[in-house]
Every structure is written in C-alpha cells, then in structure tokens.
A and B are shown apart, each in its own frame.
Chain A
Amino acid sequence: MNTLIAIIGLGVLCLLFEIFEARKAIIPVTIIGLLAILGLDITDYANPQSYYNNMIIVSKFSAAFSGLFIILTIFLVTLAHKFYQNNQSKISDFIAIKIFLLAGAVAMVSFGNLAMYFLGIEVLSIALYILASSNRLSIKSNEAGLKYFLMGSFASGIILFGICLIYGAMGSFDVTEISELSRSAELPVWFPIGIVLVFIGMLFKIAAVPFHFWAPDVYEGSPALTTALMSTLAKVVAIATLYKLVTIMNADLSGNFQMMIVIVSMASMTVGNIMALRQVNVKRMLAFSGISHAGFMLMTLVSTANAAGTLLYYTSAYALAGIAAFSVILYVCKNNENEDITNFHGLGKTNPLLAAILTAALLSMAGIPIFSGFFAKLFLFNQTIQAGFIALVIVAVVNSIISVGYYFKLILAMYTKESNEVRTATPAVIYIVAVVSIVLNIALGLFPSMVLDLLA
C-alpha cells in the first residue's frame, strides 16, 4: 500500500516539477524516487498484509511483481531521458503518465477488490492509449493509438461484463469473499462465465491468440519507447494480474478450462512465432515474439500450484531481455523513419557492444543458456510436465525452435551485412540501461534461485 501511495505521490511530484520549471530534474528525481519506492516495496515484501477494507492486499506475490514493475519503470524512465530530448516541454507529462501507469500496474497485482482491479487496468490502459498515440504528428502513432483504444475499450467492456457477472453471482467484489463463496457447492453459472469473460479480457491485454491482432499494429505504430513499455511492462503486468485473478478467486480450473488455456497457449506460441518469421520491422517482429511469449507465460496457468515463482522468473527474464533489446533498438532507430531490419545492418561492426547486447537479449528470448530466458523456459517446462501436459511442452519446444529463426534474422543482419550509415556516438544512458539490464538477465541465469525463491 505504501508503495502505491508513494508512486502516486511521485507522479504528482512530476507534475509539480513542470510547474516549477524544473524539467531537467524530473528524470533524475524520478529515478531516485523509484529506487526509494523499490526499497519501500521490499519492506512491503517483508510485511504482507491487507489495507483499507481489503482493497489492497500486499502479499509476497504482489510485492515481488511490484518490484519487477518498478525496476522496469526505472529503465524505461531512464531511456526516456534520451527519447524525449526533443520534446522537453512535454517531458513531465510523459514521465507522470508513466508513473501513474506504474501505479495502475501495482494496483493490478495487489488488488483485493475487483474495483481496484478494474480501475488499475483502466489506468494502465488509458495511459497506454495516450502513450501509443503520443507522437501526435505521426499518422502511424495515431492509428496505433486509435486501434489500441478501440480494441482496448472493447476488451474493457468484456472485462466489466465479467466483473458484473461475478458480482451477480457472489454479491461482492472482495476477492477473499468471492474465494470463500466459490468453495460452496451451489454456484450460479454467472460466476464461471464472469471469470471466463474477465479471463478473455486479460487474454486480450497480454495479446494471446485469437485476441492478439492489435499487438503488432500497435507495437509498430507506437513510439519506440512506448513499444518497449508495452512489450515489457504492460505484458508482464497483464499476465501477472491474470495469474493472480485465476489463483486468488479460486476459480474452478476444470479440465475444460485447462484445455482452453492449453489450446490458447499453443495457438499463441505458434501463431506468434510463425508470423514473426516474415517480418521486416523489428518492433513488429518483437510484437509477434511477445505474442508467442504470452503463450509461454500462459503455460503457468495450467498448473497454478507453485507457478508464481516460475511466472515471476519468466516475466523478469523476458522483460529484462526486452528492455535490453529495445534500448538498442532505440539507439539504432532514433534517426530513422522506421525500425526495419535494414537499419541494423552492420551494427556488429559499428557498435559491437550494443550488437552483442542485442544478440544476448535475443538469445535470451530464444531460450539459449546461460541467459535467463533459458531457465525461464526450463522451469516452465518442468512445471508443465509435472502437471502432465507433455503435449503442450512439445509444442512449446517446437516453437522455441521456430523462434530461433527470426531472432537470428536480426542477429545475422547485424553481423553479416555491411553497414549503410555512419552511427554517431551513443548516449551513455542507453549504454547504461542496456548493460545493466542484460547483466541482470545473465545474473538471473546464473543465480535463478535469487528470483525463484522469492515466491517459492
């Protein structure tokens, strides 16, 4: 709870900076603030309890994920320093929106009441709509914003309908009560339908097939930093929330429901990976890659017993790799109209370090050891096999193989093609973010227990 309040306070502070014309200080102060909040979050982790009539339940789960969100936000805010260089007048707005977005995210994983959940997801979504279309003069950005907005509202409607049905069945929005009531024998059918509708709405948010169509278009159209945010933070938030919803409401994971998850998971992986094969735009490619990763993450839901640690690990690995990848993309494409692979030609020669980082990030996403992406997949597979879904794991394995195809396309472009432009010196910020995130990624790979045991 303290975390949430502090984050909101920080957001307001950002707006105040604008008033006091202290734009230069915004980013450093925000980063320091976020670091402090991270410390606060750690105390939350050590001290789980519920607040304000169960509106907010701080658990190890919520605290751990909040920590991850905060770290990701720190990276994203740091990158913002460079990204909004030419947009100083709006920087406080951007940063404030991001901070509020983080607040929504934290609310989403620590809700104790469906009202908080709904508001959280709306704060997150609306912030994202704004960020997606924030490049006002770019038609692509506009289009992305509108598409995301229309479809997102549609999904919100579905979620709201689901919440409504849950309420209809249970007469309460409090998850603890719902959870208790759901154990009783007599349940109106509204409850499972409600759960399914909320579930579908969340599937939209994490961009799982067949609710994934928005993702590539929106990722491509949005400003690169927003894409980074969507593909890392937003996706992680959505899947964590989905996981929390499924577990906390004690939803009946009947055989059929699991089968549905399995099918959606398989479909997401396969469609995401296959579609990514022929993409030329890197952001779009990563969008499809994100879809396939959503499929992987969904695998945690078929065996929710101990999957929280795995999910946290997977999301951390994925998001850190994503941050590293996007920081390189930001650097490469900052002067370009688009983010086509051609821009990456010869990066291996012109900037070996960033090329190596991007390579490492992609390898991590592809699941190559020692990067944490590998361990993430390993734990996931382990869990899923334990739950008896070998077929799902086999599909996942086949998909991992396919995914190498397009990750390597980018790597090949960096190392085998000749560079077609001269690249100027890189800002230190990008180096810092890229290096730190990839180092964290590898550290996670070397010491998986560090994260895994947080939610053991």
Chain B
Amino acid sequence: MNTNLALLLLLAPFLGFLFNIFFGKSIGKTASGVIGTLTVALSFAVTLYFFGQISVSKTPIQIQLFDWIQISNFKVDFGFLLDQLSVLWLLFVTGIGSLIHVYSISYMHDDENMHKFFAYLNLFVFFMITLVIGSNLLVLFIGWEGVGLCSYLLIGFWHKNQDFNDAAKKAFIMNRIGDLGLLIGIFIIGSLFSTLDYATLKTAITGATNLDLYWISIAAFALFIGACGKSAQIPLYTWLPDAMAGPTPVSALIHAATMVTAGIFMITRLNYVFDLAPDVQNIIAIVGAVTSLVAATIALVQTDIKKVLAYSTVSQLGLMFLALGLGAYEVAVFHVITHAFFKACLFLGSGSVIHALHGEQDMRKMGGLKKVMGITFITFLLSSLAISGIPPFSGFFSKDEILMVAFEHNKVLWFIASLASLLTAFYMFRLLYLTFFKEFRGTAEQKSHLHESPSLITFPLIVLAILATVGGLISLPTNSWLNGYLSPLFSKEVHEAHHFGTTEYALMAIAVIAGLVGIGVAYSKYIKQNQVPVEDAEITGFSKVLYNKYYVDEFYNVLFVNSINGLSKFFRDYVETTLSSAVFGLEKIANELAFQGKKLQSGSIGFYLFVFVIGLCTIITYLFLAQ
C-alpha cells in the first residue's frame, strides 16, 4: 500500500510530464496545464496522507524497489525513505508546486510551448520528489541532478534567446561544480561506511566508536560544496540571479521555494555527519553569513525586479546556511518553509506585475501599480513584511531564531546576519515602493494595458500570502511544533525552547528595529524624497560596484571561463598540431631519407659496384680482420 502510494506520489508528475510531452500539443494549452496541475496536486494529496501517517506513527516508512548500482563493498538500492523531514519537504514542494502550476496556467497562456512548460515543471516536481524521498544519497543524487536539468530546461525555456541559453548553461555548469563536490562526498562516505543509505549510515555513525574524523570532515566539506552549488552560496551563487531569465513561475518554484533548498535538505539529512565535523560547520556558518550579507548588498541597487528577488533569495539562503553551520538544523528548516511561502509569493507577485507590464522587469519603469493591482499589492506587501522580519509575520519567527542562535555562538556572525536583515528590509521596501507607489513611469501604451491579473494568478498569491503571514505559527519560540516534529531526525537534542530572558527579548527587539529601520530608510528615500534609481550609465562609486555585483561574474569569467577557453584554443591550435606533427614528423624524416636515398640510387653501375666492393671489404674486415 505504502509502496504503491509512494510510487503514485513519485510517478504522478512524471506521468504528467510524459503526457504533456507527447500529447500536450494536441490537447490544447489549458488542458495540458490542467493535467500538469492535477498530477502535482495528486502528489500533494498523497503527501498529505503520508504526513498524517507520519505525524501519528512517528516511524519512517522505508520502501525498497530494486538493486541499482553495485559497488564492491556495498550495493545501492533504488528505494524511498519517507520520514518527518522528507514528508515535510514534500508538503511544500508539492503544495507550492501545485499553486505555481495553477498560476502558470494563466501566466504562460500566451506561450506557444505551454505544454512543454508544464511538462518541464512536472518533470521538475518529479525529480524534486525523488531528491526528497530517496532512501540513499545516490537516489538523492538522481533528483539533485534532475532538478538541475529541469532548471536548465526552464531557464532556457525561451530558447531562441541565446542570452537565456547562456544563463541556463551557466546554472547547469555551476550546479555541476557543486555536484562534483557532492559526488566526492558520496565516495568518501561510501568508502568509509560501506553504505549510502541514510538509515544504515546513521546507525553506522552513531554506533561507531573510533571514526576517521579527518575523512569525515573532508566528506562533509565536499558535501557542503555540493550544497553550495545547489543552494547558491559563495562562491557558486552567481548562477541564481542569471537564472531569472526563465519564466517567473520557474523562478518562484525552482529558484526560490524548492530546488535551491535542496542543499539545506541534504545537510539536514546528513546532520549526523556534519555534527562530526565542527570545522566544516564553522565554514558553513561563515559562508552562510557572508553570502547573506554580500547578496543583500547587491540587492540594494538592483533595478530588475526579479534580480532583486534573486539576490534576496541568495541572501536568505545564506541565513539558512548560517543556521545549518551552527547546528540549528530545525531552525534552518523552519526558515526554508517560511521563506518558501513568502519568496514564492513575492516572485509570483513580481510575475503578476511583469505580466501586467508585458514583460517589463525594470523597476525604474514601474510605479503606482497599487491602484490597479490591488490583490497583487497586498499579497506583495504581506510577503515583504514577512521577509523583513516584522512580527507577527512568519519571517519574523524564523529569522529571529536564526539570529538568536547566531548570537549564542558568535556575535560577529550575529551582527552580519542582523545587518543582512536590515538591508533585506530596505531593499524589499525599495522594491515595493518603486513598484507600487507613486506614479507609473512606463510608456503610455503600457499604462493603458495595466490590469489586475486574472484569478488563476491571484489565487495562488492569496494562498501564499496567507501562509507567509501565518506560517510562523508552526514554530513559535515558546512552543515549537516543528522542533518536536523533527526531533527524531537529529542526534543532538534539539534546542528546546530558549529560556526567554532579557537577552532574547532584546535580540528580538533589535531584529524588529533593524527591520523597521530598513523600511524607514526606504520610505524616506523613495517615498519622501521621491527618488528613482538612475540610469545604468549614471551609476557611480560604490553603487556601481554593487550594481555590477562586485564584478564577480567578470572575475569568474576572466579566471575560469576565459582561461579555460584560452587553454582550449591553445590546445587546439598548438598542442594538437604539435602532437600531430610529431607523428607526421617521423613520416617527414622517412620521406626526407627516401629523398636523399634516391640520389644515391644514381643509376651508375660504377657507383653500385663501388658500394658492392666497399660492402664486401667491410664484411670481410669485420669478420676476419677486426678481431
């Protein structure tokens, strides 16, 4: 029963994918959209069932399907593990997935390849489910690469534009760099523990006495690199902003709510490994904090509405990694969930705006949309408040927990994180003000077409906004349902409710104040002073550095892309020809010898006989006189 249901859960989106690929075109756009949506919704329903079951029984469901890969010292099964973590993840993957599918029916309706879009989305959900419910690291890896593929396909969905294709390729390749790390981590774990299965691994680690901590640390670090790639952390984050080339629902689903959290999922999944590698945890924490700050600063000056959100996502993911690094896995998970709600809402909202403006993404050409796009505005506002950490919105609770944990461990990290949240509040409200307030700055033609989006678009917005508002309830500081739910996963005792003393309240207050300051500055700048970001060419000073994302892309280009291309050219033009001519060189030598030899073959009998005699004398001398 469970096996069948799990298969249904997994295969429903896959069937949707197949159906849409083969018949999507013929059955029409709406129908293909509906089928796509229904399959994901079906998965969601099954997830709900499993959620109920797990909540009650509290025992993970293990499903083995078949042997997959045989390694000398262990075997990898194709199997599923449905436990608290995976079901939780499934909930928002399929849940938000369903909502975004609904949204896309309308959003993508004008696109001629809509069936393909749904096919890819379904495929993505399929792979995401695989990633989450896999019972071992290799099945996770299937999903891991699979979602990367879908991300590639969807970023490059409008494949006629080579810039988009470049972005897609970049995303895939940077993901692959991480994937290599993940693979290395898998190799080390495999050879250390002779298993890749989570459950066995956990027993092996917790039961073992003398573990090879050195190699475990290396494994953990390698796995972390994998997570970095997928979850867009420094130094592998640059693909995520570029990934905004894809349609907005894609950004919402893949690049905000689900796929990019795979890294967090994986680290949480293997928390017992990471717990053994405190050095790596420190690195994770530092990387997370730095990423969150760097991304936030870049987000400050971006003018593309989706870019801002993208950097915001990077920044928020950084916060989650901070939590992971500090061992507060459940906090990170909490933030993943709330972030999924509000960021998905924000992206979908921005999509709604872009939809209304027929593809315009530059905030400098927006403004005043509050009046025409009421629902969008309100949901957007709620989500912005949530991300800015204003109570009682969900973001407040999750972010506050992170900050609190950070404060406990390291004040510097706390400061960085707080600064990042202050900046978050600022840029989010900058975005909000520039988009929805004041007068419309676009063309008249655009203005005449302004409209609120249809209900298929607003419905998911509303649902998500509600979730973004109330999502914090699942883990209140004093009474955390989430912590209890997840506790079987962690070897360490979950941080039970903090002793709520003055420090904690003070921290909370600081966080809120920081958020409010950010909002306030944005208000004064964009509402009071009525500023609009200047044109690209006029950006100067540090803003320019920020606007150009610290020139990291250029730096990477010079350091890696150009050098490798240069190397390729060098190899192609010089090394290959040299190697080739080395072989031909022998031929040339032989030919030259032949050419010289032909001169010897002069046709003169005298010469021939002369050589004859010389040869004869040499042989006789050698045989009889040389002794």
* Chain A residues within CB distance 8 Å of chain B: 147, 150-151, 154-155, 158, 189, 192-193, 196-197, 200, 204, 209-211, 213-214, 216-217, 256-257, 260, 271, 274-278, 402, 405
Tell me if A192 and B624 are in contact (CB < 8 A): yes
Tell me if B609 and A154 are in contact (CB < 8 A): yes
Nearest CB in chain A: distance from B35 CB, A: 57
CA distance A113 to B532 in the complex (A): 118
Tell me if B619 and A277 are in contact (CB < 8 A): no
Given A151-B608, A275-B594, A275-B598, A217 contacting B615 (CB threshold 8 A) = no
Tell me if B619 and A274 are in contact (CB < 8 A): no
Return chain B residues, CB-CB under 8 Å to A155. Answer: 612
Tell me if B616 and A158 are in contact (CB < 8 A): yes
Tell me if A257 and B608 are in contact (CB < 8 A): no
Nearest CB in chain B: distance from A289 CB, A: 13
Query: Which residue of A147, A189, A210, A278 contacts B612 across the interface (Cβ within 8 Å)?
Result: A210
Return chain A residues, CB-CB under 8 Å to B619. Answer: 196, 200, 260
Please classify the interface of chain B as helix (H, G, I), strand (E, B), loop, or mixed, using the class held by over half of its residues: helix
Nearest CB in chain B: distance from A11 CB, A: 31
Given A193-B620, A256-B622, A210 contacting B611 (CB threshold 8 A) = yes
CA distance A192 to B608 in the complex (A): 25
Which of the listed residues B587, B594, B609 has the most CB atoms from chain A within 10 Å of its own CB? B594
Tell me if B590 and A213 are in contact (CB < 8 A): no
CA distance A209 to B591 in the complex (A): 19
Nearest CB in chain B: distance from A235 CB, A: 18
Nearest CB in chain B: distance from A363 CB, A: 20
Contacts A/B (CB < 8 Å), 30 sampled: A147-B605, A147-B608, A151-B609, A151-B612, A155-B612, A158-B616, A192-B624, A193-B620, A193-B624, A196-B619, A196-B620, A196-B624, A197-B616, A200-B615, A200-B616, A210-B612, A210-B614, A211-B615, A213-B601, A214-B608, A216-B601, A217-B603, A257-B623, A260-B622, A260-B623, A277-B594, A278-B591, A278-B595, A278-B598, A405-B587
Tell me if B605 and A211 are in contact (CB < 8 A): no
Given A192-B624, A256-B622, A260-B619, A277 contacting B612 (CB threshold 8 A) = no
Closest residue of A by beta carbon distance from B604:
A213
Nearest CB in chain B: distance from A255 CB, A: 10
Nearest CB in chain A: distance from B627 CB, A: 8
B597 contacts A by Cβ under 8 Å: yes
Tell me if B605 and A151 are in contact (CB < 8 A): yes
Contacting A at CB under 8 A, from B568-627, are: 587, 590-591, 593-595, 597-598, 601, 603, 605, 607-609, 611-612, 614-616, 619-620, 622-624, 626-627
Return chain B residues, CB-CB under 8 Å to A154. Answer: 609, 612
Closest residue of A by beta carbon distance from B595:
A278
Return chain B residues, CB-CB under 8 Å to A197. Answer: 616
Closest residue of B by beta carbon distance from A406:
B594
Tell me if A274 and B593 are in contact (CB < 8 A): yes
Which of the listed residues A147, A204, A213, A256 has the most CB atoms from chain B within 10 Å of its own CB? A213
* Chain B residues within CB distance 8 Å of chain A: 587, 590-591, 593-595, 597-598, 601, 603, 605, 607-609, 611-612, 614-616, 619-620, 622-624, 626-627
Tell me if A213 and B620 are in contact (CB < 8 A): no
Which of the listed residues B611, B619, B622 has the most CB atoms from chain A within 10 Å of its own CB? B619
Return chain A residues, CB-CB under 8 Å to B593. Answer: 274
Given A210-B615, A216-B601, A256-B622, A405 contacting B609 (CB threshold 8 A) = no
Query: Which residue of B590, B595, B614, B622 contacts A405 across the interface (Cβ within 8 Å)?
Result: B590
Nearest CB in chain A: distance from B320 CB, A: 64
Closest residue of A by beta carbon distance from B593:
A274
Nearest CB in chain B: distance from A281 CB, A: 12
CA distance A155 to B597 in the complex (A): 23
Nearest CB in chain A: distance from B588 CB, A: 11
Query: Which residue of B601, B609, B627 contacts A275 across the interface (Cβ within 8 Å)?
Result: B601
Tell me if B601 and A277 are in contact (CB < 8 A): no
For the complex of A and B, the 5 pairs showing the least CB-CB separation, nearest first, are A210-B615, A213-B608, A278-B594, A277-B594, A275-B597
Return chain A residues, CB-CB under 8 Å to B603. Answer: 217
Query: Which residue of A150, A158, A189, A209 contacts B624 across the interface (Cβ within 8 Å)?
Result: A189
CA distance A197 to B623 in the complex (A): 12
Return chain B residues, CB-CB under 8 Å to A204. Answer: 612
CB < 8 Å A-B pair total:
71
Nearest CB in chain B: distance from A45 CB, A: 35
Tell me if A150 and B612 are in contact (CB < 8 A): no
CA distance A200 to B594 in the complex (A): 25
CA distance A271 to B593 in the complex (A): 9
Query: Which residue of A192, A216, A260, A402 contacts B590 across the interface (Cβ within 8 Å)?
Result: A402
Nearest CB in chain B: distance from A126 CB, A: 18
CA distance A234 to B595 in the complex (A): 28
Nearest CB in chain A: distance from B606 CB, A: 10
Return chain B residues, CB-CB under 8 Å to A277. Answer: 590-591, 594
Tell me if B594 and A274 are in contact (CB < 8 A): yes
CA distance A275 to B601 in the complex (A): 9
Return chain B residues, CB-CB under 8 Å to A257. Answer: 623
Return chain B residues, CB-CB under 8 Å to A200. Answer: 615-616, 619
Closest residue of A by beta carbon distance from B607:
A213
CA distance A178 to B351 in the complex (A): 109
CA distance A275 to B594 in the complex (A): 5
Nearest CB in chain A: distance from B597 CB, A: 5
Return chain B residues, CB-CB under 8 Å to A189. Answer: 624
Return chain B residues, CB-CB under 8 Å to A217. Answer: 601, 603
CA distance A214 to B608 in the complex (A): 7
Query: Which residue of A192, A210, A275, A405 contacts B623 across the interface (Cβ within 8 Å)?
Result: A192
Tell me if B587 and A213 are in contact (CB < 8 A): no
Return chain B residues, CB-CB under 8 Å to A209. Answer: 615
CA distance A154 to B615 in the complex (A): 14
Tell me if A274 and B597 are in contact (CB < 8 A): yes
Tell me if B612 and A211 are in contact (CB < 8 A): yes
Question: Contacts A256-B626, A274-B590 given; 13 further ones with Cβ under 8 A?
Answer: A151-B608, A154-B612, A192-B624, A210-B612, A213-B611, A214-B608, A256-B622, A256-B623, A257-B623, A260-B622, A274-B597, A275-B597, A278-B595
Return chain A residues, CB-CB under 8 Å to B611. Answer: 210-211, 213
CA distance A213 to B603 in the complex (A): 8
Return chain A residues, CB-CB under 8 Å to B622. Answer: 256, 260
Nearest CB in chain A: distance from B594 CB, A: 4
Return chain A residues, CB-CB under 8 Å to B590. Answer: 274, 277, 402, 405
CA distance A276 to B594 in the complex (A): 7
Nearest CB in chain A: distance from B572 CB, A: 27
Nearest CB in chain A: distance from B107 CB, A: 60
Nearest CB in chain B: distance from A313 CB, A: 28
Which of the listed residues A147, A192, A210, A276 has the most CB atoms from chain B within 10 Å of its own CB? A210
Nearest CB in chain B: distance from A54 CB, A: 29
CA distance A271 to B623 in the complex (A): 23
Return chain B residues, CB-CB under 8 Å to A213. Answer: 601, 607-608, 611-612
CA distance A271 to B611 in the complex (A): 14
CA distance A192 to B615 in the complex (A): 17
Nearest CB in chain A: distance from B129 CB, A: 56
CA distance A341 to B2 in the complex (A): 78
CA distance A158 to B603 in the complex (A): 22
Closest residue of B by beta carbon distance from A200:
B616
Which of the listed residues A189, A193, A277 has the most CB atoms from chain B within 10 Å of its own CB? A277
Return chain A residues, CB-CB under 8 Å to B615. Answer: 200, 209-211
Return chain B residues, CB-CB under 8 Å to A147. Answer: 605, 608
CA distance A155 to B624 in the complex (A): 20
Which of the listed residues A189, A200, A275, A405 has the most CB atoms from chain B within 10 Å of its own CB? A275
Nearest CB in chain B: distance from A161 CB, A: 10
Nearest CB in chain B: distance from A364 CB, A: 22
Return chain B residues, CB-CB under 8 Å to A276. Answer: 594
Closest residue of A by beta carbon distance from B602:
A213
CA distance A276 to B601 in the complex (A): 12
Nearest CB in chain B: distance from A39 CB, A: 41
CA distance A276 to B587 in the complex (A): 13
CA distance A277 to B603 in the complex (A): 18
Return chain B residues, CB-CB under 8 Å to A193. Answer: 620, 624
Tell me if B597 and A271 are in contact (CB < 8 A): yes
